[in-house]
Every structure is written in C-alpha cells, then in structure tokens.
Chain A
C-alpha cells in the first residue's frame, strides 16, 4: 500500500513539474466535462424551472386561434407576444360552466418600465399549484385592488421599479418599454405587493381588467394606438377583450371536453400547458442531445490529448524512469507512475470541468431568471455524477495505458545512456 502511495506521490510531483504540458490535456478534459455538465445541469434546471413556473396556472389556457405553444408561453411564462385577443364573453361563458372550477382573465397590452401590466380579477389570486397547496400569489404588503387604476405588484416588479405602497406611476402602451410619448395619462396607485411566487408573474403588475380596457377605450382605432395587431380591441373595435384565460376545470375528464369544445370553435382555442411545454421540452431535449454529443466529442479529443501528453512524458522522462529502475523500482512501478499521472490529469480535468460546468450553468441560469423571471434552479445532476467521474478517469486510464506499457517495456541501460 505504501508503495502505491509512493508511486502516486511521484506521479503528482511529475504532474506538478510539467505544469504547462499537464495543463493542456487537463483543460481539454475539463472543457469536455464542462460542456456535458453545463448542458445537463442547465437543461435539467430549465425544465424544472418551467414546470415550477407553470405549476399554478391551471390545466388549460384559452386564447386566440394560432400556435398553441405561443399561447401557452405567453400566458404562462410571459414569453413572446400574445396571439391576439378573445371576446370577454368567453370568460362569462366559462365562469358559468359547471365543468370549470376557476377561470382567470388576462388582459395585456401595457407595461411600466418593461414590467407587463396585466388586467385580471381576484380569481388570479386564488390560483394554486394543486387543490391542497397554498395560494401561489399571496400579499406581502398592502391589499388586493378593489378599484380601477389600483395596482398590485409582483415581488420582482416592486423591487425593479422601486415602487412602494401608495406610490403612483403611469403605464406605457405596448408589451415592452417604449418611448415616453406612449405613456397613458391615468395615474396608477400601488395598493399591494406580492410575495415571490417563483414564476414569471413575479415581474408583472396587476390591475383590474377594466383598468386595461378603460386605458385603451378612448384610443381604439386612433392613430396613437401602438398595438394595432395584437392589442385589445384591435380586431373588432370592441374594447372588452381578453388576451387569454387560465382555466382550472373540476377534473381531467372536464378538461378534455372543454378542450374539445374549443377545438371546433372559430373564435378561440384551448391548449394544455403540459402538452405544449412537453413539446418545448422535446425541442430542448434535441438541443441538449446535440450539446451533450459535443461534450462527448471533446472528451474523445481529450483522450487523444491525454495520450499524446502521457506519451510525451514517457519519452521526455525516459532517463528518469531508467534511473528509477536502476535504483530498484520494478517495471510495474514506473508503469504505474505514468498511469497515475494520466489519471491525475483526468481527475483534475473532471474537477475543473465540474466547476466550470456548474459555474456556467449558474451564470446562464441567473441570466435567464433575470431576463425572463423564470427560475432556473441549477443543482448537481446526481444521476449523471457517477458517469461524469468514471468517464474522464477511464479516459485517463486509456490514454495512459500505452505510455505506461512503453515504460514497462523500456530497457534500463538504453534509458540511462539516452
């Protein structure tokens, strides 16, 4: 045992002594591991983040006809533009429908400092991930709105805008920050601030649907209206329109029948968020497979680099290895020292790769969270950890095998003479 430890000690010194030659294969191994780790951890985090962010929003989304995925992404994750609008009467239909437990109206079209202003009603604040789960959107300060032009702020919106209870602000037309001339005249008053919910809606500002309708009523058809395609009332001249509806049916069977009902209608469609996000995940999966393949490819290149490095070390240290043999080291010792060196390089690469990979995943995850308000929890992918240790080490072992064999077979006298 002490002999093996001593061999390991010699290998470590060899690695340290040839730092530059060691760093190149180490970095290549680290790069391969980092790509694989970042891809897998980020993919996993984005999946879980989207699931978490979409959790409270019900089983069905009802909105304008078009791409169901766009409808879900806009309604659930606040990503992209809305498809269009639907009559507010559909909301009345659904609230009266015995198959529906909860229907939540969403009317979009304005923003304040980039934070979307969402017209809704008190039903929104009754959303919860499941029947027994706590409410998803709870007040941390103030109260809910009970009059038009009263606003409740999501936690990120409140922090980002620097607004507090009692503060007033003016909203702008459009879904993103625009020019100052697009500002509505009406003053909105902050009456409540929500706890963080871990959803994209933390970056939103909530008002009554009538607030949104009122803010646009006098401008419909006017030249100043900045959202003539997707804006409220743009298609019909009717200001009382909604962007979409979040629907929680009383059961799965009812969810299916509601979906079928809308399937045959021409004024709206229903989409299952789970199904649409599943399609999105499939797309993620393909990208992830591609990136993971790149990681494996880099690891394959690393195998060649580790081999070349170990081969170079065997040639460079031919005399030293011969001296070791002359001092009594058996053949297996010199072979083991070279093999250990290759393994140490791979181990270093595996460690560094993890740091880089998880570091990159955390940075990208934070950027996604910052930009889209979708939480991206980056965690250690335990299911892949054994593979991500075994593979680089196997790679190091494989790369060091031939040089170790060369050292094993080397002639001592020739080595001393060389």
Chain B
C-alpha cells in the first residue's frame, strides 16, 4: 500500500498570536515496503508529521492517502478504526499503559480494530511477544521491564494488526547502541516481512547506514540529502 502526502501544510498559532508554519510538504510518496529514515533535529516537526500521517492531527491543508483511502475525508470514528487496523505507531516514550501487563498492552489495538474474534486476541499478542523476544514477560507490567524491553513491547503493540504503515518516532533515543541496533533491526525485519512502509524518525546519525533511503526534515520541509527540497521519494 502506497502512502501519499499531497500539499500538506500545518500551521501553529504561537502564544503571541503569531501563526507559524511548522510543515510544508508539497508531495511525498512512499511505495509499499519502503523503509525510510527521517532525520531532523528536535523541533523540526518530525512528531507533527507522524501525527498527521497517523490520522491523529488534521493538517491545516493537504491530503494523506494510504492506498485509496484519503485519511481526513473519513468520519472520525471510521478513521479511528482505520488507524487501528492499518497504522502502527511506536512513540518516542513508548507510551505503554502502566496499569496493563505487556500482553494486555498488545491486546489493546486488537480490541480496538475488532478485526479478530476476541478469542484470538491473546494468542496473537503472545505470538507477537515471542517475536520480540519477550515470551516470558507477558504478565509483566511496564514498570517491571527495562527500557529496551518496554520498547520491544511497544513495537509488538504497533505490529499487532499487521499495519501497512509503521511510524517509529525516535525509538532508540533512550537505548544504548546495541539495544538500539536490535530494535531497528526488529522494526526493519517485521516491516519487510509484512510489506509495510516503515518510517523511522531519528536525529541520531548512527542509523544512516541502516537505511537505504533517508530524508531530512528541516524547517518543516523535506530535504533530500542532496539538498533538493520537496523531493518526491520513490524507493527502488
């Protein structure tokens, strides 16, 4: 499934009343299976772009299409359901629900998508936990897990509904290099296996070598490493 952003702008009203444009992306196209490293310094708009791509933040203008579906033309409840079934999101701070176990955190998107019968939720979540190497930690709560383990649970949760777009926002920020490399490898292999589009946002230059394609986000604009702005990106 292709991901297509067209004429996306997003404005933000500062406390002073001044309107600032934080994103300006005339076009950005990602083919199914694309794996992209999105680089940018803090405050460059990476999270805002991810929120728009995830259907969480309506842009000031423009469209976001996943396959044939134009996200922001869907009624909100339908968009919620579509997000649950098609978009995985690994947050910068993992954002696991503290009162739920690792297993229950992974069950959550399965329940919201309601594509599988209830009886399949737990077995599916257990399979995912096994895939991320945490089969023995199903009943652990987030506070009982290490940072790396929490991140792996977050990855498993994002993969729960076999998403066609996986967004990972600074997933390795709090990890040591080895753990970070393991997580990036996990994200890449899981998306490659599913043919999903993977976009990993990071300001860490260490990951440049892990992705064939990377794009910088500077001042709200996508910039190809050559410096050409508004690059329309087509993976090989």
Contact = CB atoms under 8 A, between A and B. Distances in A.
Given A328-B85, A413-B51, A6 B111 contact: yes
A332 B76 CA distance: 11
B77 A327 contact: no
Interface in A307-352: 319-320, 323-333
A2 B76 contact: no
B22 to A, nearest CB: 12
Contacts of A3: 111, 114
A13 B100 contact: yes
A330 B80 contact: yes
B112 interface: yes
Nearest to B80: A330
B54 interface: yes
Interface string A210-238: 00000000000000000000000000000
B57 A413 contact: yes
A329 B85 CA distance: 11
A320 B80 CA distance: 16
Interface string B73-91: 0001100110111000101
Interface string A13-26: 11011100000000
Contact of B95 (A13, A332, A416): A416
A18 B108 CA distance: 20
B157 interface: yes
Interface residues of A, number: 24
A345 B43 CA distance: 42
A412 interface: yes
Nearest to B85: A328
Contact of B83 (A320, A323, A328): A328
Contacts of A18: 99
A325 B83 CA distance: 10
Contacts of B85: 328
Given A328-B83, A328-B113, A17 B56 contact: no
For chain A, what secondary structure do more than half of its interface residues adopt (helix, strand, loop), or is it mixed? helix
A323 B112 CA distance: 12
B118 interface: yes
A233 B56 CA distance: 96
Given A2-B114, A324-B108, A413-B56, A330 B81 contact: yes
For chain B, what secondary structure do more than half of its interface residues adopt (helix, strand, loop), or is it mixed? helix
Given A14-B99, A326-B54, A416 B80 contact: no
B98 interface: yes
Contacts of A328: 80-81, 83-85, 109, 112-113
A325 B108 CA distance: 11
Nearest to B54: A326
Contacts of B95: 319, 323, 326, 416
B97 interface: yes
A328 B112 CA distance: 6
For A324, A328, A330, the residue with the greatest tally of chain B CB atoms inside 10 Å of its CB is A328
Contacts of B80: 325, 328-331
For A3, A6, A17, the residue with the greatest tally of chain B CB atoms inside 10 Å of its CB is A6
Contact of A331 (B76, B91, B109): B76
A168 B97 CA distance: 77
A76 to B, nearest CB: 60
A326 B56 contact: yes
A330 B201 CA distance: 26
A332 B75 CA distance: 14
B143 to A, nearest CB: 11
A325 B80 CA distance: 7
B79 to A, nearest CB: 9
Contacts of A13: 99-100, 104
A413 B47 CA distance: 10
A73 B108 CA distance: 67
B97 A16 contact: no
Interface of B: 51, 54, 56-57, 76-77, 80-81, 83-85, 89, 91, 95, 97-100, 104, 108-109, 111-114, 118, 157
Interface of A: 2-3, 6, 13-14, 16-18, 319-320, 323-333, 412-413, 416
Given A326-B54, A326-B89, A330-B81, 15 more contacts: A2-B111, A2-B114, A13-B99, A13-B104, A16-B99, A18-B99, A326-B91, A327-B84, A327-B157, A328-B80, A328-B85, A328-B113, A331-B77, A416-B91, A416-B95
Top-4 shortest CB links A-B: A328-B84, A17-B99, A328-B112, A327-B109
13 contacts: A6-B111, A6-B118, A13-B99, A13-B100, A18-B99, A323-B95, A327-B89, A327-B157, A328-B85, A329-B108, A331-B80, A332-B77, A416-B56
